[in-house]
């Protein structure tokens, strides 16, 4: 294991030696902490009020995150200068979290304030998501579209994000366990961290691409370019198709997973422990991605199938084991194992998306797919929350994962031999 880590970080040095990339990673660290704390606080507040529908409500509001990824493409193409847009986005994110803090201070924690705070917090998370698209555009430039370095950057960034998430969730989970009112101070801390994240951005030398002719018509033009790419570029079409299906499936699993856990408890500390197991698995999965030497799409699809097969335990364990002292630790361990292949899958797919999207059309074309993902997210949250309420969350999870396994086996039959020599 030590040799594996030494080997991986030895390869990461080729990425970290680029100053602007290193500064982006430093900025990501603060923003990722902000995101993890506020997302976790939102879920706990959802638990505290409406259980399964509280979790579904979080995801419905969370769709604004997908829409902002779409509009970030418009922002890039209209304004250019990605560095400037990143700084403006960080500022807006800080303001949104300060506003959420003030609402809780004035109204306290109740159903009405929860809805208002969720709207404001999801605006901040939406800005965070938009920044991800903008950073990807900069990365494509800074790494000269070097496929190996893009994969290494994606792997390192995801691994660091998961490590940060462990710390953030343990601390915030423990504090929420002591007193749910501490939620407002965690939101304030997120606002301060997002302000600190501005410092590395100001030190960057590369400002990003400037569009030749900024125009508000870019929205329509972007859709036209996106459709042409889907029609004419088989590789791009395959990646988009698989990402849409995976995204729809994972949102449904998240809603049901949190709902199953809420059957056994609604204590923030225990929910935090579950997230820790998941993020440790995410660290390992992200760091292992460069080791897979992916050259065929089938390798990545197999990772998703493995994850879904392991994840079936999320439904089977609660249905067969009724003793909390056995069921809950088993769920934690399954979550840990499940997250290794699932995060390897998304890490590899993420680097493929950055590499496969043309730089000149990166902004709007890359982010246009999020309109599809947004619709998937809304439908998935509502439909699976309803199904979970009618048949029970464990049974619904079994149905969702079985469907997922069947779909990805079909995709593997059709596209598994599609070769990506760059990966």
Q: How many residues does the chain have?
A: 423
The pLDDT assigned to 369 comes to 67
Mean pLDDT score, 336-347: 87
Task: Quote the pLDDT of residue 405.
Answer: 92
| Euclidean distance between CA atoms 24 and 138, whole angstroms | 9
SS3 of residue 224 by DSSP: helix
CB 372 within 8 A of CB 266: no
Of 59-68, 149-158, 232-241, the poorest mean pLDDT is in 59-68
Which residues have C-beta within 8 Å of that of residue 106, sequence separation ≥ 6?
Answer: none
Q: What is the DSSP string of 152-210?
A: HHHHHHHHHHHHHHHHHHHHHHHHHHH-GGGHHHHHHHHHHHHHHTHHHHHH-------
Q: Which residues contact 187 (CB under 8 A, 6 or more apart)?
A: 37, 38, 41, 97, 100, 101, 104, 117, 121
Three-state DSSP class for 215?
A: coil
Q: Of 18-32, 39-53, 168-182, 379-393, which one has max mean pLDDT?
A: 18-32
pLDDT per residue as tens digits for the range 306-325: 999 988 887 777 777 767 67
| 257-281 residue pLDDT tens | 766 766 655 444 566 666 677 778 8
**φ, ψ at 293 (rounded to 5°):** 50, 55
Structure tokens at 258: 């949190």
From residue 75, give the alpha-carbon distance in Å to each of 83, 211, 223, 226, 227: 12, 11, 14, 16, 20
Whole-number pLDDT of residue 305: 92
Q: Give the span between the Cα atoms of 261 and 263, in whole angstroms.
A: 5
Q: What is the distance between the alpha carbons of residues 334 and 310, in angstroms, rounded to a whole number?
A: 7
Residue 308 Ramachandran class (φ > 0 left, ψ -120 to 50 alpha, else beta): alpha
Q: Is the torsion defined by CA of 292, 280, 403, 323 positive or negative?
A: positive
pTM assigned to the model: 0.69
Collapsing DSSP states into helix, strand and coil, what is residue 416?
coil
pLDDT in tens, 243-257: 888 877 887 777 777
- How high is the mean pLDDT of the chain? 76
**Surface-to-core class of residue 1, CB atoms within 10 Å of its CB (0-12 exposed, 13-18 middle, 19+ buried):** exposed
290 forms bridges with which residues in the sheet? none
pLDDT in tens, 152-186: 888 888 888 888 877 887 788 778 777 778 888 88
Q: Which residues pair with 419 in a beta bridge?
A: 296
Q: Does 3 have pLDDT greater than 70?
A: no
Give the tens place of pLDDT for each residue, 106-129. 887 777 777 788 778 877 777 777
Nearest to 40 by CA among 133, 164, 159: 164
Among 76-85, 144-153, 312-321, the least confident range? 76-85
Instruction: Quote the CA–CA distance of 269 and 325 in Å, as a whole number.
Output: 16
Residues β-bridged to residue 296: 419
Instruction: Give which of 128, 88, 82, 20 is closest to 359, Cα–Cα.
Output: 82
Query: By the 8 A CB rule, do 42 and 118 touch?
Result: yes
Q: Which of 274, 412, 366, 349 is nearest to 82 (CA)?
A: 366
Contact 302, 413 (CB under 8 A): no
Q: What does the pLDDT read at residue 423?
A: 42
């Amino acid at each position: 294991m030590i040799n594996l880590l030494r080997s991986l970080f030895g390869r990461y040095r080729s990425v970290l030696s680029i100053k602007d990339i290193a500064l982006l990673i430093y900025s990501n660290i603060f923003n990722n902490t902000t995101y993890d704390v506020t997302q976790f606080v939102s879920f706990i507040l959802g638990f505290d009020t409406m259980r399964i529908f509280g979790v579904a409500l979080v995801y419905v509001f969370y769709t604004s995150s997908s829409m902002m990824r779409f509009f970030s493409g418009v922002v890039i193409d209209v304004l250019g200068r990605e560095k400037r847009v990143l700084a403006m986005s960080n500022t807006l994110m800080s303001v949104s979290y300060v506003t959420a803090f003030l609402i809780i201070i004035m109204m306290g924690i109740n159903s009405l304030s929860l809805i208002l705070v969720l709207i404001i917090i999801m605006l901040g998370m939406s800005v965070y998501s938009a920044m991800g698209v903008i950073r990807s555009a900069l990365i494509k430039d800074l790494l000269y579209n070097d496929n190996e370095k893009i994969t290494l950057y994606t792997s390192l960034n995801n691994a660091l994000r998961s490590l940060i998430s462990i710390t953030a969730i343990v601390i915030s989970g423990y504090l929420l366990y002591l007193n749910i009112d501490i939620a407002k101070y965690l939101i304030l801390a997120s606002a301060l961290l997002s302000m600190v994240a501005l410092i590395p951005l100001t030190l960057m030398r590369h400002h990003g691409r400037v569009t030749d002719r900024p125009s508000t018509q870019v929205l329509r033009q972007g859709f036209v370019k996106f459709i042409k790419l889907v029609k004419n570029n088989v590789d791009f079409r395959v990646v988009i198709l698989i990402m849409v299906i995976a995204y729809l499936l994972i949102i449904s699993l998240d809603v049901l997973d949190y709902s199953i856990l809420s059957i056994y408890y609604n204590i923030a500390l225990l929910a935090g422990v579950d997230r820790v197991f998941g993020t440790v698995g995410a660290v390992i999965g992200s760091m292992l991605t460069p080791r897979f030497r992916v050259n065929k799409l089938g390798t990545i699809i197999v990772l998703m199938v493995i994850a879904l097969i392991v994840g079936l335990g999320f439904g089977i364990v609660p249905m067969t084991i009724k003793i909390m002292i056995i069921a809950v630790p088993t769920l934690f361990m399954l979550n840990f194992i499940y997250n290794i292949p699932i995060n390897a899958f998304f890490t590899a797919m993420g680097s493929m998306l950055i590499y496969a999207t043309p730089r000149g059309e990166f902004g709007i074309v890359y982010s246009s797919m999020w309109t599809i993902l947004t619709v998937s997210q809304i439908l998935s949250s509502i439909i699976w929350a309803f199904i979970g309420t009618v048949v029970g969350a464990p049974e619904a999870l079994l149905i969702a994962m079985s469907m997922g396994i069947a779909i990805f086996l079909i995709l593997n039959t059709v596209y598994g031999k599609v070769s990506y020599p760059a990966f």
